[in-house]
Amino acid sequence: MPVQGAHIPALGFGTYGMNGPHLRNVLVAALGHGFRHIDTAQMYGNEAEVGAAIRDAGVSRSEIFITTKVWVANYGAAQFAPSVDQSLRKLKTDYIDLLLVHWPRGGAPIAAQIEGLNRAVEQGKARHIGVSNYNAEMLRTAVKMSPRHLVTNQVEYHPFLDQTALLRQIAASDASLMAYCGMAVGRVFGSEILRDIAAKHERSVAQVVLRWLIQQPRVVALSRTEKIERIAGNAAVFDFALSEAEMAAITALRAPDSRIVDPGHLAPAWD
């Protein structure tokens, strides 16, 4: 997806909660099945395995889009750049495709976060920058402050969570929404509507949800699985399309109180 000069692959592979040799094997399989975007974070403690897997897979670095996130404890002026250097060393690369700040609260103010991100681009350590878990107002403020374009806001998004307000601000900011928790920690698999649509297309519910995400303007989807046998299916979401009625039926699954990831000390007042 082209966003202000950044070509963000519309489907990324999420690595939260995975590490060690298993993550290496899973990522080699994901790269083998065509994933070209890997999402990691300083907080996940697995950047070294991500770097190792990219080398194991034998895919050229220039073909892979790496997103990583600076942890809140590293937002201070003295910690930000050294933490990015450490990410680069662990990832065994000399640039990060997309550098995000992980949460808006719990570290330094937004101005310091935006300053650190911009410095990373100036110093050639990051190609593109963005934020994660910002609400619409924070995104508006950050975009105004940032000399360089903020290309994404990575947030929770699935059929049960209404992100209309944030998507409106994302369009106004010419950014993208990078969706995490697409499977709503498994809740999607219990939906009869999703199961019916999946059966009609002879696809899995996971494929239908990923397709619903990437078929929306400005939405990038992250997919995570620890099971190698599920990777090929999760990657195969570019060879079918949902009808307008199916898109609308999935969007209509939205319901109040559907947010899953909400750590009080880090999260904003959500839209």
Ligand X SMILES: NC(=O)c1ccc[n+]([C@@H]2O[C@H](COP(=O)([O-])OP(=O)(O)OC[C@H]3O[C@@H](n4cnc5c(N)ncnc54)[C@H](OP(=O)(O)O)[C@@H]3O)[C@@H](O)[C@H]2O)c1
CA gap 15, 27 in Å, rounded: 9
- Residue pair 176/151 in contact (Cβ under 8 Å)? The answer is yes
Q: How many CA atoms lie within 13 A of 128 on its CB side?
A: 21
Determine if 262 is a binding residue for ligand X (CB under 6 A): no
Handedness of CA 141, 143, 144, 145 (dihedral sign): positive
Q: Which one of 81-89, 191-199, 223-231, 245-253 is the stretch in contact with ligand X (CB under 6 A)?
A: 223-231
Of the candidates 11, 15, 83, 219, which one interacts with ligand X according to CB under 6 A?
15
CA gap 148, 250 in Å, rounded: 35
Determine if 191 is a binding residue for ligand X (CB under 6 A): no
Active-site position among 16, 44, 134, 180 = 44
Q: Which one of 115-123, 163-171, 177-185, 235-243 is the stretch in contact with ligand X (CB under 6 A)?
A: 177-185
Give the nearest distance from C-beta 13 to ligand X in angstroms.
8
Q: Which one of 27-35, 117-125, 180-188, 240-248 is the stretch in contact with ligand X (CB under 6 A)?
A: 180-188
Q: Is 44 a catalytic residue?
A: yes
Rg, the chain, Cα only: 18
Percent helix, percent strand, percent coil in the chain, to nearest 5: 45, 15, 35
Task: Report 154-173 residues binding ligand X (CB under 6 A).
Answer: 154
Task: Report 112-141 residues binding ligand X (CB under 6 A).
Answer: 132-133
Give the nearest distance from C-beta 121 to ligand X in angstroms.
20
CA gap 240, 106 in Å, rounded: 42
CA gap 160, 123 in Å, rounded: 40
Determine if 14 is a binding residue for ligand X (CB under 6 A): yes
Give the nearest distance from C-beta 191 to ligand X in angstroms.
13
102 is in an annotated binding site: yes
Tell me the residue type at 254: R
Q: Which residues of 260-271 are buried (b: 16+ CB within 10 A; e: fewer)?
A: eeeeeeebeeeb
CA gap 206, 198 in Å, rounded: 9
Token duo for residue 61:
């670095």
Determine if 233 is a binding residue for ligand X (CB under 6 A): yes
Of the candidates 1, 7, 16, 95, which one interacts with ligand X according to CB under 6 A?
16
Of the candidates 60, 78, 227, 257, which one interacts with ligand X according to CB under 6 A?
227
Nearer to ligand X, 15 or 146 (CB): 15
Cβ count near 42 (within 10 Å): 20
Binding-site residue set for substrate = 102
- Which residue ranges make up the site for ligand X (CB under 6 A)? 14-16, 39, 132-133, 154, 180-183, 186, 204, 206, 222-227, 230, 233-234, 261
Active site residues: 44
Tell me the binding residues.
102
